[in-house]
Amino acid sequence: MDKQVNQFDEKLVYIENAGVMHKTENKIKSIIFDMDGVIIDSEEIWKRAEKEVFSSVGVKLSDELCRLTETMTTAEVTKFWFERQPWKNKSLWDIENEVIERVAHLINEEGKAINGIEEFIKSLKSKGFKIGLATNSPSGLIPVVLKKLRLDGYFDATASAEHELEGKPNPSVYLTVSKKLNSKPEACVAIEDSCSGLLAAKNAGMKTIEIFKDNTDSMKSEIADYQINNYDQFDISVLN
């Protein structure tokens, strides 16, 4: 057993943030990933699918309003546009499912993993961490994404906010995954790319890692205990 695995048994676990080490009484046992923007680069896929489907029923999407819907569930996005520009002949459920089906198709055709994610997850698994996934996206897209990225064998538990009363920043989807992993929230670290996701994990009582594309994308807030812009940069030993 290597040195890092031995360190995992120590009482105190340290998380680094901007050169400052914070400690928690609970050793980290599980790492929980968001999905979109964290394991798969899907932002443009969602934009295309929503534009195609909503435009087909006469909805005119604006960049300003689209930014407001970025962290919503698909059901919430559909309701959001219907309340502002109602359409006829198709139900909200029909439109929601058309968006999901279009996203699934585009993921299968064009989906790309976030750089370094496969190696990072393999490294976590080799060191004994449980791996979970908590997403606002529909549950039906989870196996599509994991299969496309060849990650379906690595996740010990997954959950979608589709099956919760509220999506992120409500913590329920994170609490569901931690329960499935048989890990206390304080023994979990969540990896997120959005403020609402970070808040959800924090509200659940978890440590947080923010992944961002560049310095302009970073929330630069105290919500995140640790910040990275790529997985190669993250030193797993800080979890131990």
Q: Which residues are catalytic?
A: 34, 36
Burial of 196 (0-12, 13-18, 19+ CB in 10 A): middle
240 vs 234: CA distance, rounded Å: 13
Which token pair is 9?
């048994």
Q: Are 147 and 40 spatial neighbours (Cβ–Cβ below 8 Å)?
A: no
Mapped onto helix, strand or coil, the DSSP state of residue 58 is coil
Angle at 213 between CA 210 and CA 216, to 5 degrees: 90
Q: Which two tokens stand for residue 216?
A: 């302009």
- DSSP code string of 43-108: HHHHHHHHHHHHHTTT----HHHHHHHTTS-HHHHHHHHHHHS--SSS-HHHHHHHHHHHHHHHHH
Query: Of 203, 166, 172, 169, nearest to 186 (Cα)?
Result: 203
Strand 20-24 relative to strand 13-17: parallel, antiparallel, unpaired?
antiparallel
Residues contacting residue 89 through CB under 8 Å, at least 6 positions apart? 57
CA-angle at 188, arms to 224 and 117, nearest 5°: 75
